[in-house]
């Protein structure tokens, strides 16, 4: 019977470069089996490369499939978004004097002369995923300092019971020490450190050695977009930047609900495509 099946395209492409083999392997009684092994190895290498480069997230309308730790399949359903085209009524600023927060061409633009926190007013509940794209501007402006692309999430005030009801905070960083939250400071200390902390709500915010990073691959490239993705599923807390998993933290007593906030200091940055997803485990 005639075989009408076509060879995979990658196998056709690999049929040409036989000249890459040594002459002794291109002819003689061992040529055919050696060639088969050679092409199988190359094909396997291409397959592994394609798998390693495959993105962890594949958007499907307003639903997205994500893989947690390469094992657990989750479905993330988009439940809220802010395209930054209308106004800032859904956000609460805490901004030291001299700074501004504005909407510019579909982007949130923060120019901070001192400390700045911008809280999303909706209280969030995990399991959830938060995504946005942020760019630190370095174009010679008075506050164009490449540093502190930071954020808080699942934040709350155990003392007052309602974080946003407190009007005493002015954006100074130390005023947040007594809150209960997760925090990442990306490119802090003049873009020399990236750090993750779990604030306990008691003034304690321990820094573990493995969460204190200084390798340039974990820092900020000026004027380049940073796609941030935060995932909290039960006790698993992950922070991604441009599909690079920077922090994968297991919390035996995870925070269940709280607020999200952009955080920076003496910085000029833009944010776009802010999205919030709820997460459900896919059935096997």
pTM across the whole model: 0.78
Mode of pairing for the β-strands spanning 100-104 and 107-120: antiparallel
What digits encode the pLDDT tens for the residues 123-153? 999 999 999 999 999 999 999 999 999 999 9
User: Which tens digits make up the pLDDT trace of 169-211?
Assistant: 999 999 999 999 999 999 999 999 999 999 999 999 999 999 9
CA separation for the pair 17, 2 (Å, rounded): 27
74: its two tokens: 């989750």
Tens of pLDDT, residue by residue over 29-71, are 444 443 343 334 334 443 333 333 333 454 545 888 888 877 7
CATH class of 58-281: mainly beta
Domain boundaries, the chain: 9-53, 58-281
What are the E-state strand segments in 89-201? 91-95, 100-104, 107-120, 124-125, 128-136, 149-156, 180-187, 193-200
Would you say 198 and 206 are in contact if contact means Cβ atoms under 8 Å apart? yes
Q: Determine the pLDDT at residue 193.
A: 98
């Amino acid at each position: 019977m005639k075989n009408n099946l076509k060879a995979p395209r990658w196998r056709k492409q690999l049929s040409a470069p036989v000249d890459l083999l040594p002459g002794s392997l291109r002819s003689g009684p061992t040529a055919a089996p050696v060639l088969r092994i050679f092409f199988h190895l190359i094909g396997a290498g291409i397959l592994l490369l394609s798998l390693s480069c495959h993105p962890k997230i594949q958007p499907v309308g307003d639903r997205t499939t994500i893989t947690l730790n390469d094992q657990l399949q989750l479905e993330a359903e988009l439940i809220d978004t802010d395209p930054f085209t209308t106004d800032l009524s859904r956000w609460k600023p805490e901004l030291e004097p001299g700074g501004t927060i504005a909407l510019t061409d579909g982007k949130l633009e923060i120019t901070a002369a001192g400390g700045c926190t911008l809280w999303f007013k909706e209280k969030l509940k995990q399991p959830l995923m938060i995504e946005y794209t942020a760019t630190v501007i370095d174009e010679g402006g008075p506050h164009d300092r490449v540093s502190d692309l930071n954020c808080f999430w699942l934040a709350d005030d155990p003392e007052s019971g309602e974080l946003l009801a407190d009007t005493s905070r002015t954006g100074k960083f130390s005023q947040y020490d007594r809150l209960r939250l997760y925090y990442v400071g990306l490119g802090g200390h003049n873009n020399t450190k990236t750090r993750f902390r779990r604030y306990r709500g008691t003034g304690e915010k321990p820094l573990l050695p493995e969460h204190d990073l200084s390798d340039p691959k974990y820092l900020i490239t000026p004027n380049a977009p940073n796609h941030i993705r935060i995932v909290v599923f039960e006790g698993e807390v992950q922070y991604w930047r441009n599909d690079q998993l920077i922090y994968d933290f297991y919390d035996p007593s995870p925070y269940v609900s709280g607020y999200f906030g952009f955080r920076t200091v003496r910085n000029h940055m833009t944010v776009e495509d802010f999205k919030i997803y709820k997460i459900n485990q896919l059935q096997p």
